[in-house]
Amino acid sequence: MALLTFLGAIQQVTGSCYLLESREGSRVLLECGMRQGRREEEQANEQPFPFDPASINAVVLSHAHLDHSGLLPRLVASGFRGPIFATHATCELIELMLLDSAHIQEHDAEWENKWRARLGKPEVKPLYNTVDTERALKRRQPLPYGQAHEVAPGISVTFHNAGHILGSAIVELEIHDHHLTRRLVFSGDLGNTCSPLMQDPTFLDRADVVLMESTYGDRDHRCSEETIDELAEILQQAHRDGGNVLIPSFAVGRTQDLLYYLGRFYHEGRLPQQAVFLDSPMANRANQIYARFHDQFDEQDRALIQQNGNGDLRKWLPPLRITASPEDSMAINRIKSGAIIIAGSGMCTGGRIVHHFKHNLWRSECHLVFPGFQAAGTLGRNIVDGAPTVRVLHQRIAVKAKVHTLGGFSAHAGQSQLIDWVSHFDHHPELYLVHGELEKMKVLQGELKSRLNWDANIPEPGEQIVI
């Protein structure tokens, strides 16, 4: 019998972390996510780990998003010396994401220390730095999908495609302890079967205990064909209005979905714009990784991109222009119409998108498209909520551009897709809902009971169960 402790992403959506301990002494950390969102959440990242990092045999990672991987450099800096297991694509993507995260940590600490010095206050240290991150990256050990591998004595792991972002995995853990074999399945983040590029999440049928994410446990997503048509219509309207189209987007996942759809419009003769700027060096590097792993794409989408772009999203969309330097980025400011500009950050909290806001947001002929949820308190959310003016780069700017929110771009399974995925397990294993807000989990819990007559548990932070 083994012990599982629910450490993070419990009744919330960030900071994924679970500790698995066998009676024979193996300790495996499943995820090492960063908490994101409000200031108090982010401060929690600075707390010591609730276990001794040096005592952990191995880390197993479901995918590259920072809310699942973001504290790995800190874990290594705190004494962890074992391997970090993930799929090949995840191993490549975390290099991009963790180094970017380290730069942000270093930059934030430097900025804070400037005003602290003026107040005579002591300096703060970044949560982690580039050196910590490089040390963590050396511990990566890629594993293919579908092959069991012993990650610690008596504990083996098999990754299955989760269809969420490139490299994302459902993690199946087999625990051999005192002549007993138990199987734990962690869904990771499950993909939305309507979203492009990624394959559908793999169905599994055997488990003793299942941990399932529940981000969208309370609702189904709109069908993406409707969303795609809506996007095409916005692009036509922007063309008629004679303005630019701004799309704030996350560099990994969302941006590649957008490039896929824009490429489709181009090949169908539905893209009136002459230029699509991808103003995000990180998204560009992610594109290169996506191109290397295009054999993992959904078969139909892959065939299209193969035929018209040799498997590379950058060739699939001929009007695409990549802006490498800050000068290239600034040159876009001179373009007043006919351009689509995709830039970070996804929630408009910083990055290059805010510079494009300065030049376009006050112009009524421009259009601003949010392809996803904007969290409370962010600049993006203010605009979505209808603020007549916003503060951008120390200036007040009127919001005259037309604002659109597209709901169908989620990379997460909706309620029915979650229920469908879990219904494939035989004999109703013990089910625990994780990675979701409490209200949404309760809705999903009710649906699981009424549709499948299945009792799902909602664990408390720090709760332990015997597997």
Question: Using CB under 5 A, which residues numbered 52 to 71 contact Zn ion?
Answer: 65
Smaller CB separation from Zn ion, 21 or 189:
189
Smaller CB separation from Zn ion, 65 or 254:
65
Contact 410, 195 (CB under 8 A): yes
Best CA proximity match to 93, nearest among 280, 256, 248, 290: 290
Smaller CB separation from Zn ion, 252 or 403:
252
Contact 462, 5 (CB under 8 A): yes
- For the bound state, the minimum distance from the C-beta of residue 345 to Zn ion, rounded and expressed in Å, comes to 16
Smaller CB separation from Zn ion, 159 or 357:
159
- For the bound state, the minimum distance from the C-beta of residue 213 to Zn ion, rounded and expressed in Å, comes to 9
Asked if 189 interacts with Zn ion (CB under 5 A), we say yes
- For the bound state, the minimum distance from the C-beta of residue 15 to Zn ion, rounded and expressed in Å, comes to 12
Site string for Zn ion, 296-325 (x = CB under 5 A): ------------------------------
Site string for Zn ion, 8-47 (x = CB under 5 A): ----------------------------------------
Asked if 95 interacts with Zn ion (CB under 5 A), we say no
* Binding range to Zn ion, per CB under 5 A, among 189-197, 244-252, 374-382, 445-453: 189-197
- For the bound state, the minimum distance from the C-beta of residue 13 to Zn ion, rounded and expressed in Å, comes to 9
Q: Give dist(CA 442, CA 436) in Å, integer.
A: 10
Q: On the CB side of 221, how many CA atoms lie within 13 Å of its CA? A: 26
Contact 409, 227 (CB under 8 A): yes
Asked if 213 interacts with Zn ion (CB under 5 A), we say no
Smaller CB separation from Zn ion, 21 or 92:
92
- For the bound state, the minimum distance from the C-beta of residue 201 to Zn ion, rounded and expressed in Å, comes to 13
Q: b/e per residue, 218-237, with b = 16+ CB within 10 A?
A: beebbebeebbebbbebbee
Tokens, residue 463: 């709760």
Contacts with Zn ion: how many residues (CB under 5 A)?
2
- For the bound state, the minimum distance from the C-beta of residue 187 to Zn ion, rounded and expressed in Å, comes to 11
Question: Using CB under 5 A, which residues numbered 407 to 466 contact Zn ion?
Answer: none
Count the helices and strands in the chain (H runs, E runs).
15, 22
Q: Give dist(CA 9, CA 186) in Å, integer.
A: 13
- For the bound state, the minimum distance from the C-beta of residue 64 to Zn ion, rounded and expressed in Å, comes to 8
* Binding range to Zn ion, per CB under 5 A, among 15-23, 34-42, 186-194, 428-436: 186-194
Smaller CB separation from Zn ion, 27 or 65:
65
Smaller CB separation from Zn ion, 63 or 140:
63
Smaller CB separation from Zn ion, 256 or 323:
256
- For the bound state, the minimum distance from the C-beta of residue 122 to Zn ion, rounded and expressed in Å, comes to 36
In degrees and rounded to multiples of 5, residue 220 shows phi and psi of -95, 150
Contact 343, 356 (CB under 8 A): yes
Smaller CB separation from Zn ion, 168 or 374:
168
- For the bound state, the minimum distance from the C-beta of residue 290 to Zn ion, rounded and expressed in Å, comes to 15
Q: How far is CA 438 from the centre of its chain?
A: 20
Best CA proximity match to 258, nearest among 367, 409, 391: 409
On the question of a cis peptide bond just before residue 345, with omega within 30 degrees of 0, the verdict is yes
- For the bound state, the minimum distance from the C-beta of residue 90 to Zn ion, rounded and expressed in Å, comes to 11
Smaller CB separation from Zn ion, 16 or 329:
16
Q: Give dist(CA 172, CA 204) in Å, integer.
A: 9
Best CA proximity match to 409, nearest among 260, 214, 246: 260
Cβ neighbours of residue 422 under 8 Å, at least 6 residues apart?
187, 210, 212, 431, 448, 452, 454
Please report, as ranges, the residues that interact with Zn ion according to CB under 5 A: 65, 189
